[in-house]
């Protein structure tokens, strides 16, 4: 067993990076901002779980062909009860691009589960939660805010796993605000009287975290900005920078870096004004009405995801790690502190 373990680790350098991480997850600073660093015990637990799954399943032999999407019923491998799995996904870019991003992960999940998996790209953030509420979906890949919105609407879901960033070997990312490179805006206070675009009121990085930072400075966007706009998705918000008098946009560093790689933005025409402390990645939520055997099998499928496969929002991953509802409690408290719960439930 030890020989197999050493051999597995030698072939998995990304996993070694994860094991060596020694950050702490969900710490609140004295100023009530959230620092979301990941604990060693959870990282090691993920590594051990992944190694054990790989050894005991023989690394899951590739099937000759995956189940057809047209099949109405399919039997799960390993005697797991067949149950339609429908996962709602928040939109991050145009539908065709997102479907292309989802395809490799979809293929991996179907291979491990031995059954059809349907990914349902939502029209907007609210629709991704609506699908859970009305039963169109029994799982979801959504951000922290949408998780709490689902709970507040009576949906019985729990976080299952979250992706680990390919480049940082951490299961978190950072919110940020971007301005034009030649903008006179140097601080968050300079945004007063300006036109600022956020992503969506249900976006964690594109609204919640920037709003928290602004409120700490005594800045109320609705009162102090010339205009508040919402792009709808991160990609649509990026397109607003510098157009129609928009002085700044809220997004996350992963998206900003991706846009620079794609040439949509460059260091010559944009710059980072502000970035948040780490924020936990969007998680995969599962309905507690799903068969426990299927939930366990889905957990196994995500934990054995090969490094480099993009997550459902387009970020490259080094695999997935287990998460729990307690990991997100501080963000629920933050939403209450910002008086967002009542405001959002009324919309």
With respect to residue 47, please indicate whether it lies within any of the assigned structural domains: no
Query: What pLDDT was estimated at residue 296?
Result: 97
Same domain, 167 and 101: yes
Same domain, 141 and 81: yes
With respect to residue 8, please indicate whether it lies within any of the assigned structural domains: no
Residue pointed to by tokens 């979801």: 140
Summary mean pLDDT of the chain: 80
Nearest to 11 by CA among 321, 301, 299, 307: 307
Query: What pLDDT was estimated at residue 219?
Result: 98
**CB-based burial label for 55 (10 Å; 0-12, 13-18, 19+):** middle
Q: What is the pLDDT of residues 173-192, one digit of tens each?
A: 899 999 999 999 999 999 99
3-state secondary structure of 239: coil
Query: What pLDDT was estimated at residue 165?
Result: 80
Q: Are strands 27-28 and 34-35 parallel, antiparallel or unpaired?
A: antiparallel
Answering whether pTM is above 0.85, one says no
Query: What pLDDT was estimated at residue 271?
Result: 97
Provide DSSP, 310-347.
B-TTS-BEEEEEE--GGGGHHHHHHHHHTTHHHHHHT-
With respect to residue 27, please indicate whether it lies within any of the assigned structural domains: no
Q: Residue 286 pairs with which residues in a beta bridge?
A: 139, 158
Query: What pLDDT was estimated at residue 264?
Result: 92
Q: Are strands 157-165 and 117-121 parallel, antiparallel or unpaired?
A: unpaired
DSSP alpha helix (H) spans, 11-136: 13-20, 40-56, 95-113, 125-134
Rounded Cα distance between 44 and 50, Å, is 10
Does residue 310 have a pLDDT over 60? Answer: yes
Domain boundary, last residue among 229, 254, 276: 276
Domain boundary, last residue among 227, 254, 276: 276
With respect to residue 186, please indicate whether it lies within any of the assigned structural domains: yes
Provide DSSP, 214-234.
HHHTT--HHHHSSEEEE-SSH
- Domains in the chain: how many in total? 2
Q: What is the pLDDT of residues 64-83, one digit of tens each?
A: 334 445 443 333 344 344 57
Q: What is the pLDDT of residues 153-178, one digit of tens each?
A: 999 999 999 999 876 788 888 999 99
Same domain, 328 and 246: no
Same domain, 205 and 272: yes
Same domain, 73 and 129: yes
Domain boundary, last residue among 233, 250, 276: 276
Q: Which domain holds residue 128?
A: 67-171+281-345
Mean pLDDT of 230-253: 94
Q: The domain spanning residue 253 has which CATH number?
A: 3.40.190.10
Rounded Cα distance between 167 and 104, Å, is 19
Query: What pLDDT was estimated at residue 192?
Result: 98
Same domain, 147 and 213: no
Q: What is the pLDDT of residues 194-223, one digit of tens each?
A: 999 999 999 999 999 999 999 999 999 999
């Amino acid at each position: 067993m030890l020989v197999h373990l050493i051999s597995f680790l030698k072939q998995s350098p990304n996993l070694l990076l994860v094991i060596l991480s020694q950050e702490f997850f969900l710490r609140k600073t004295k100023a009530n901002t959230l620092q979301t660093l990941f604990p060693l015990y959870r990282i090691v637990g993920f590594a051990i779980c992944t190694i054990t799954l790989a050894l005991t399943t023989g690394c899951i032999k590739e099937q000759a062909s995956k189940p057809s999407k047209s099949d109405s019923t399919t039997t799960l491998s390993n005697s797991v009860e067949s149950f339609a799995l429908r996962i709602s996904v928040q939109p991050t870019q145009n539908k065709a691009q997102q479907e292309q991003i989802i395809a490799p992960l979809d293929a991996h999940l179907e291979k491990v589960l031995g059954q059809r998996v349907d990914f349902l790209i939502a029209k907007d953030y609210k629709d991704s939660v609506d699908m859970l509420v009305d039963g169109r979906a029994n799982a979801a890949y959504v951000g922290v805010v949408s998780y709490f919105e689902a709970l507040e609407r009576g949906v019985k879901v729990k976080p299952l796993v979250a992706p680990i960033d390919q480049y940082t070997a951490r299961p978190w990312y950072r919110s940020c605000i971007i301005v034009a490179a030649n903008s006179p805006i140097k601080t968050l206070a300079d945004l007063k009287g300006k036109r600022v675009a956020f992503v969506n009121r249900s976006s964690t990085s594109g609204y919640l975290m920037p709003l928290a930072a602004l409120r700490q400075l005594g800045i109320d966007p609705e009162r102090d900005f010339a205009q508040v706009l919402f792009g709808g998705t991160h990609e649509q918000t990026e397109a607003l920078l510098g157009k129609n008098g928009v002085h700044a946009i809220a997004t996350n560093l992963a998206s900003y870096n991706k846009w620079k790689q794609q040439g949509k933005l460059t260091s010559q025409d944009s710059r980072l004004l502000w970035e948040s402390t780490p924020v936990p990645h969007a998680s995969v939520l599962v309905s507690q009405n799903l068969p426990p055997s299927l939930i366990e099998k889905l957990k196994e499928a995500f934990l054995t995801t090969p490094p480099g496969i993009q997550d459902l929002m387009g970020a490259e991953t080094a695999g997935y790690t287990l998460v729990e509802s307690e990991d997100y409690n501080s963000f629920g408290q933050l939403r209450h502190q910002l008086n967002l719960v009542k405001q959002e439930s009324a919309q």
